[in-house]
């Protein structure tokens, strides 16, 4: 797939509840992406458990290529009907995307219909219905194009505004119209649309959110890629090989580490130019090399950048307005969809903790810690040691 599947989700808990009764589960593999939104009956702990169970069953079976009918039958058979309300204990919507074919299919059981936008306009989906174990299941499918957006919502979003201008709540049509209006500003990310909708939902509820409300957005857009080269390779003879890979990388490039930057500079026939205006008490200055978007010091800057990303909970918009190396590196990392690390394993004695085994690199541990944080932010991360 030559574009990126940008997926973002956000929920509002019903007022007074610590846990959300909606659950979103996302699974990405090389061949497909699976997204499940389940809405447990009621609110709080019980609803959360039911929704979590439902989403876990679906994703576990689908990623193991269990036939769809068997997956649905298993879930439907697991969830009994509430004797009082005469409805299932959990509803669900599934989006499954085939990366190679660029095809998607949607399976919806008692959740609001999917919102599909093509070229910024609400577009109808061809939907068929099947009866499985006495439950009506809706199926839709289509082809994903660059700029397409798919939105999954729980009914808590639709209920917002109940008793105000919208006597029966905000409603599906109004949500769709609101999303379509956001495309006027050409949103660059799913996060933009999802946050706008959830913010509007919260505003309509006022200070009393009456039901768990969740919105999951899938936006197809150009991939933002980043490669970071940090640390000199073990074998100096392979330096040029890795530098060429960096320079030929199709995306933005960063070099973290003074020795690493000098190696790249030598290859380019340049001297690293240091920008002392970016020096801070706790962050070394950045440097400049042609063909490289960002050049920073290594361990200290990377560790500080991780602290900064954690402090802002991975939100790009919450980064400080500063040009120091740690903030600039955090911006590169949080702006990227996929990050490739080339990590040299030659040990810099200056950065070794005497309490650790000598073969355990602080750089390696730090990169793995950064990678873990980025994966929690739904980034695609690869690490190659050299």
- State the average pLDDT for the chain: 88
- Residue written as tokens 């970071």? 228
Instruction: Locate CATH 3.60.40.10 in the chain.
Output: 4-221
Q: How many DSSP H helices and E strands does the chain contain?
A: 10, 18
- β-pair type (149-153, 135-143): unpaired
Looking at residue 355, what is its pLDDT? 52
Which residue, 174, 122, 177, is CA-closest to 148?
122
Cβ neighbours around 355 below 10 Å, total: 5
Burial tier of 129 (Cβ tally within 10 Å: 0-12, 13-18, 19+): exposed
pTM over 0.85: no
* Percent of the chain residues topping a pLDDT of 70: 91
Sorted by sequence, the CB contacts under 8 Å of residue 270 that are 6+ apart come out as: 289, 290
Sorted by sequence, the CB contacts under 8 Å of residue 289 that are 6+ apart come out as: 255, 261, 264, 265, 268, 270, 272, 273, 295
- How far, in Å, are 45, 294, 329 from residue 297 at the CA level? 47, 10, 10
pLDDT per residue as tens digits for the range 147-186: 999 999 999 999 987 755 555 678 899 999 999 988 877 6
Both tokens of 344, joined, read 């040299």
DSSP category for residue 251: S
Distance CA 382, CA 386 (A): 13
Sorted by sequence, the CB contacts under 8 Å of residue 314 that are 6+ apart come out as: 334, 373, 376, 377
Both tokens of 26, joined, read 């996302």
- What is the secondary structure of 184-240 as a DSSP string? GG--SSHHHHHHHHHHHHHHHHTT---S-EEEEEEEEE---EEEEEES--SSGGGHH
Q: Are 179 and 217 in contact (CB under 8 A)?
A: no
pLDDT per residue as tens digits for the range 87-100: 558 899 999 999 98
Looking at residue 360, what is its pLDDT? 43
Which residue, 256, 289, 259, 286, is CA-closest to 272?
289
- Reported confidence tier of residue 358, pLDDT bands at 50, 70, 90: very low
Both tokens of 118, joined, read 């093509």
pLDDT per residue as tens digits for the range 260-308: 999 999 999 999 999 999 999 999 999 999 999 999 999 999 999 999 9
> How far is residue 281 CA from its own chain's centroid?
33
pLDDT per residue as tens digits for the range 235-265: 888 899 999 999 999 999 999 999 999 999 9
CATH class of 4-221: alpha beta
The stretch 363-383 carries a mean pLDDT of 92
Looking at residue 359, what is its pLDDT? 41
Q: Are 288 and 273 in contact (CB under 8 A)?
A: yes
């Amino acid at each position: 797939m030559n574009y990126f599947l940008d997926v973002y989700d956000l929920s509002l808990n019903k007022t007074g509840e610590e846990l959300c009764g909606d659950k979103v589960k996302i699974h990405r593999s090389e061949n497909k992406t699976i997204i499940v939104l389940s809405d447990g009956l009621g609110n709080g702990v019980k609803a959360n458990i039911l929704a979590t169970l439902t989403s876990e069953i679906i994703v576990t079976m689908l990623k193991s290529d269990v036939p769809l009918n068997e997956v649905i039958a298993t879930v439907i058979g697991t969830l009994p009907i509430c004797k009082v309300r005469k409805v299932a204990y959990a509803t669900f919507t599934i989006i499954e995307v085939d990366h190679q074919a660029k095809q998607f299919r949607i399976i919806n059981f008692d959740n609001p219909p999917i919102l599909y936008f093509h070229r910024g306009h609400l577009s109808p989906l061809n939907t068929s219905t099947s009866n499985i174990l006495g439950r009506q299941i809706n199926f839709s499918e289509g082809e994903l194009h660059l700029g397409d957006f798919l939105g999954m919502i729980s009914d808590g979003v639709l209920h917002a505004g109940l008793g105000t201008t919208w006597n029966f709540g905000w409603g599906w049509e109004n949500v769709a119209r609101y999303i379509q209006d956001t495309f006027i500003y050409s949103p660059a990310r799913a996060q933009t649309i999802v946050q706008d909708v959830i913010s509007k939902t919260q505003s309509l509820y006022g200070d009393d959110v009456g039901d768990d409300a969740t919105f999951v957005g899938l936006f197809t857009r150009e991939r933002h890629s980043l490669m970071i080269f940090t640390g000199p390779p073990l074998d100096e003879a392979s330096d040029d090989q890795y530098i060429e890979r960096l320079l030929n990388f199709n995306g933005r490039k960063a070099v973290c580490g003074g020795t690493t930057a000098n190696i790249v500079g030598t290859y380019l026939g340049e001297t690293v130019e240091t920008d002392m205006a970016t020096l801070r008490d706790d962050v070394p200055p950045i440097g400049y090399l042609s063909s490289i978007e960002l050049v920073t010091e290594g361990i200290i800057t990377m560790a500080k950048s991780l602290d900064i990303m954690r402090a802002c909970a991975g939100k790009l918009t919450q980064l400080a307005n500063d040009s120091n190396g740690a903030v600039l590196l955090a911006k590169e990392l949080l702006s990227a969809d996929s990050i490739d690390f080339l990590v040299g394993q030659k040990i810099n004695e200056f950065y070794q903790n005497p309490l650790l085994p000598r073969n355990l690199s602080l750089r390696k541990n730090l990169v793995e810690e950064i990678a873990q944080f980025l994966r929690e932010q739904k980034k695609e991360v690869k690490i190659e040691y050299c």
